[in-house]
Amino acid sequence: MKKLKVEKVKLNNGVRIPSIGIGTWQIPNSENLVLSLQSAIELGYRYIDTAAIYENEPSVAEAIRRCGVKRSEFFISSKCWAANRTYDSVMRAFEESLRNLKLDYLDCYLIHWPYTKGEPLAWQSVNIGTWRAFEKLYEEGLVKTIGISNFQMHHLVSFLARANVAPAINQLEFHPGYTQRSAVSFCKKNGITVEAWSPLGHGALLDEPLIKEIASHYERSVAQVILRWCRHHHVVPVTRALTAEHQIENLESFDFDLSDDDITRLDNMPLMGFSGLEPDHVSF
């Protein structure tokens, strides 16, 4: 397979990461996942996103082992699940992820969801308490980049005021029809790189007439238009693509530009493709 070039994005800690990642959410730990990741690696993907709750870290490890690519070329990210919010439980969860991934260090570790239960002072203290363990892992060099996921602006205000190390990444649900403008704008103003999970709106956007019209104009696919729109907003998309065909399609999303008018049309789409996972109301 021909390896395609992927540009890099510089984080607030100086680390440079690929401008597109390959995601593994809702993909079981299996030989199929290993083969899919092998294909992605051969094509040029170096950013692999997983999480403890996905229960597929061993498949990521096996794909890395088989590919023969230097460890230093990869950006491997995992996430600490909501059940692990104390200092000690974060440390145990991190060690388990390292064992599952068969790695000596992680390139990125994220708090998967903010704690939001109870009075503000209570959940604010829990979130920053969790972060203290992340800061320790970062200081010890066990993880190169630390960040958060699904944090909204009201979570971030108190969090940043008390953090010793600012998060480098906030991974959010972000796509046309669900742009989370306040959170994205706040992150940008504070030097936090935004990543997009489910940038295609869980597949709901693939048949959206407006995006199909725009895609036809540029002679591109709907997915390519959406991913290019993400990068226009300086958001790093984390895509789930199991086949080589879709992996190539996604990698070829960045060699064209959308007009300002088309960007605005995509920005202003009505609510669509939203997962329903609102951080202040999830049950975990």
Catalytic residues: 54
Q: What is the residue type of 67?
A: C
3-state SS assignment for residue 171: strand
The answer to whether 76 and 61 are in contact (CB under 8 A) is no
Q: Which of 177, 120, 184 is nearest to 152 (CA)?
A: 184
Q: Phi/psi class of residue 141: alpha, beta or left (left: φ > 0; alpha: ψ in -120 to 50)?
A: left
Q: How far apart are CA 52 and CA 77, in angstroms?
A: 10
- Helix 153-162 to helix 181-189 angle, to the nearest 10 degrees? 20
Residue 112 annotated as lining a ligand binding site? yes
Cα–Cα dist 186/192, whole Å: 8
Spatial CB neighbours of 132, under 8 Å, sequence gap ≥ 6: 87
Q: Say what the alpha-carbon torsion angle 148, 16, 180, 254 is, to the nearest 10 degrees.
A: -150
- Paired with 21 in beta bridges are 238
Residue with tokens 């061993």: 58
Going by the DSSP 8-state scheme, the letter that residue 270 receives in this structure is P
- DSSP characters over 44-95: T--EEE--GGGT-HHHHHHHHHHH---GGG-EEEEEE-TT--SHHHHHHHHH
Q: Which residues are annotated as a binding site?
A: 112
Q: Which residues are annotated as a binding site for substrate?
A: 112
